[in-house]
Structure 1
Amino acid sequence: MVISTAPPEAREIETSAALERRSPKREQRGLPIEISRMMGLQTAYEILGGKKALADALGVGVRSLNHKLNADRGVSNLDLFVTARTLETRAAKMMQHAAKLRAVLADTQRELIQS
């Protein structure tokens, strides 16, 4: 038995409409559907170069990713975490490559100065 320490007004019984939307089975409850989550995925696939790249990172098919983007399915916290990690990995690779290009540029400038 669980005893609530919440004040009485916070323990009010939910309306029947709210109860109808909720499934008794945890696995049948929907994930959060928020515009910020969907737009975050959309921006991420644009940065990564397409839906296929993001779908591969998430371990889902493009069709499943489309359902998430269209709000037919929710976007989980794990989806957001994996997407963020994928973007961070891509950013690190880009910064490493930019450093290599700057090193080549610096070598070229030194050669021009010495000539």
Structure 2
Amino acid sequence: MMISASHNDAREAPVFSQSINCSPMREQRGYPIEIWRMVGMQTAFEILGGKGRLASALGITVRSLNYKLNAERGVSNLDLTLAASTLETRGKKMLDHARKLRDGIEPQAKCMGTAE
């Protein structure tokens, strides 16, 4: 029989601040797999017009993007930030183009006598 000189608390399993499925070693931790992250990425590629465009914005292949969408890999905060930035850029381009289209309508309306 082996007798330990350590206190009972020292023999208990250590408690880590990470959740159960995360390793205490940073190199072994995976990215979060959460539904809202995957749905957000799905919506982003639909708005951008395809998986290829979102994958290109993230600097990954379409195959890697599919892994993220299928919860085989997690979606990192960087992935979300890059997708949001790409959507903002696309949105700005859309708003600028819409403004140009409206500016093109105004002179024509003046020629037709509908403007004051």
With normalisation by structure 2, the TM-score equals 0.79
List alignment gaps of at least 5 residues for structure 1.
Answer: 1-11
Residue 14 of structure 1, CA deviation: 3.7
State how 1:49-60 maps to structure 2 within 5 Å. Answer: 49-60=49-60
State how 1:1-115 maps to structure 2 within 5 Å. Answer: 13-14=14-15, 21-113=21-113
Q: Greater share of helix residues, 1 or 2? A: 1
Question: Percent same amino acid at aligned positions?
Answer: 58
C-alpha distance 90-78 of structure 1, shift in aligned 2 (>3 A)? same
Aligned residues: 100
Q: For residue 67 of structure 1, what is the amino acid of its counterpart?
A: Y
Q: Give me the whole-angstrom Cα distance separating, in 1, the residues matched to 2:22 and 2:30.
A: 9
With normalisation by structure 1, the TM-score equals 0.79
SS of the counterpart of 1:113? coil
RMSD of aligned C-alpha atoms?
2.1
Runs of 4+ in structure 1 deviating by more than 3 angstroms, as ranges, are 12-15, 21-25
List alignment gaps of at least 5 residues for structure 2.
Answer: 1-12
